């Protein structure tokens, strides 16, 4: 089942779209099935769970962190993650810079852009993101790779579409404003949006990184 879905998604997704398999709350056996089907990028949202799964699985997996990250949990995440997609506050960004500086590491990050209606969702405003990218030299151990976002949880596909388009438009305007900054020239090109129920719309709106959990692994038992 897991392998079939991985194969089907790889055929269905355009070649520029990276599939991130969201394995939170699922056992390592399920992750291994996806791995054996060729999947190499996985995402977790809880620090402890990530830290305990990593040593049980092959070392060529690239782990993304996609949950709300508290700064006292960085040491459970940053040694293992190849990307933190969910940077949602200056406090967290500063802490990642400090940790990476102390540990001689550079971390790829996405800035989470708050586009949903729900107040409960995390993320920066457009102004805050623009402000951060005005002085990327303040973060020598952080590589800004793009934006991440989540649409409002709704059946209203027009609303989802317009929220996704906001993310794409912000990325495009940042690239035209700051594209020549050395810090961004490694590519501020990643747009991570789209999950099991809305990844089709996401791709139509320019997403090149979809985070899919339920469709691959089934419902989560919380």
Tokens encoding 58: 């092959």
Whole-number minimum distance, CB 17 to ligand PLP, in Å?
14
| Among 44, 40, 46, residue whose Cα is nearest residue 59 | 40
Task: State how far the Cα of 31 lies from the Cα of 22, in Å rounded to an integer.
Answer: 9
Question: 184: Cβ–Cβ under 8 A, 6 or more apart, which residues?
Answer: 133, 136, 144, 174, 175, 178
Class of residue 42 by CB neighbours under 10 A (exposed 0-12, middle 13-18, buried 19+): buried
Stretch that binds ligand PLP, among 71-79, 91-99, 181-189, 209-217 (CB under 6 A): 209-217
Query: In terms of CB distance, is 100 or 148 closer to ligand PLP?
Result: 148
Candidates 89, 122, 154, 196: give the one binding ligand PLP (CB under 6 A).
Answer: 196
Stretch that binds ligand PLP, among 7-15, 89-97, 100-108, 205-213 (CB under 6 A): 205-213
The owner of tokens 């089942």 is 1
Whole-number minimum distance, CB 183 to ligand PLP, in Å?
25
Query: In terms of CB distance, is 74 or 216 closer to ligand PLP?
Result: 216
The owner of tokens 């810079």 is 97
Candidates 31, 34, 66, 205: give the one binding ligand PLP (CB under 6 A).
Answer: 66
Whole-number minimum distance, CB 207 to ligand PLP, in Å?
12
The SS3 assignment for 96 reads helix
Candidates 84, 170, 195, 209: give the one binding ligand PLP (CB under 6 A).
Answer: 195
| Among 5, 44, 30, residue whose Cα is nearest residue 216 | 5
Q: Interface with ligand PLP includes 13 (CB under 6 A)?
A: no
Stretch that binds ligand PLP, among 74-82, 115-123, 201-209, 213-221 (CB under 6 A): 213-221
Candidates 47, 146, 149, 213: give the one binding ligand PLP (CB under 6 A).
Answer: 213
Question: In b/e form, how buried is each residue of 2-23, taking b as 16+ CB within 10 angstroms?
Answer: beebbeebeeebeeebbbbbbb
Using CB atoms, what's the residue nearest to ligand PLP?
213
Query: In terms of CB distance, is 69 or 184 closer to ligand PLP?
Result: 69
Footprint of ligand PLP on 14-53 (CB under 6 A): 22, 24, 45
Q: How big is the site for ligand PLP, counted in residues (CB under 6 A)?
A: 12
Question: 141: Cβ–Cβ under 8 A, 6 or more apart, which residues?
Answer: 96, 97, 100, 101, 105, 106, 107
Tally of CB atoms within 10 A around 24: 18
Footprint of ligand PLP on 131-190 (CB under 6 A): none
């Amino acid at each position: 089942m897991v392998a079939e879905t991985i194969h089907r998604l790889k055929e269905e997704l355009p070649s520029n779209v990276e599939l991130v398999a969201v394995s939170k709350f699922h056992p390592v056996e399920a992750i291994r099935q996806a791995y054996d089907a060729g999947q190499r990028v996985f995402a977790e949202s809880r620090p402890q769970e990530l830290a305990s799964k990593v040593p049980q699985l092959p070392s060529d997996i690239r782990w993304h962190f996609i949950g709300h990250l508290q700064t006292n949990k960085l040491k459970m995440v940053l040694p293992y993650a190849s990307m933190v997609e969910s940077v949602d506050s200056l406090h967290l960004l500063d802490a990642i810079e400090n940790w990476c500086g102390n540990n001689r590491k550079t971390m790829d990050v996405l800035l989470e852009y708050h586009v949903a209606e729900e107040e409960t969702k995390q993320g920066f405003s457009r102004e805050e993101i623009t402000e951060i990218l005005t002085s990327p030299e303040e973060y020598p151990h952080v590589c800004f790779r793009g934006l991440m976002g989540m649409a409002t949880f709704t059946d209203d596909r027009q609303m989802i579409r317009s929220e996704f388009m906001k993310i794409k438009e912000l990325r495009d305007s940042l690239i035209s404003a700051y594209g020549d900054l050395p810090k961004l020239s490694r590519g501020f090109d990643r747009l991570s949006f789209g999950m099991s129920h809305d990844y089709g719309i996401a791709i139509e709106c320019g997403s090149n990184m979809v985070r899919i959990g339920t469709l691959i692994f089934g419902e989560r038992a919380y």
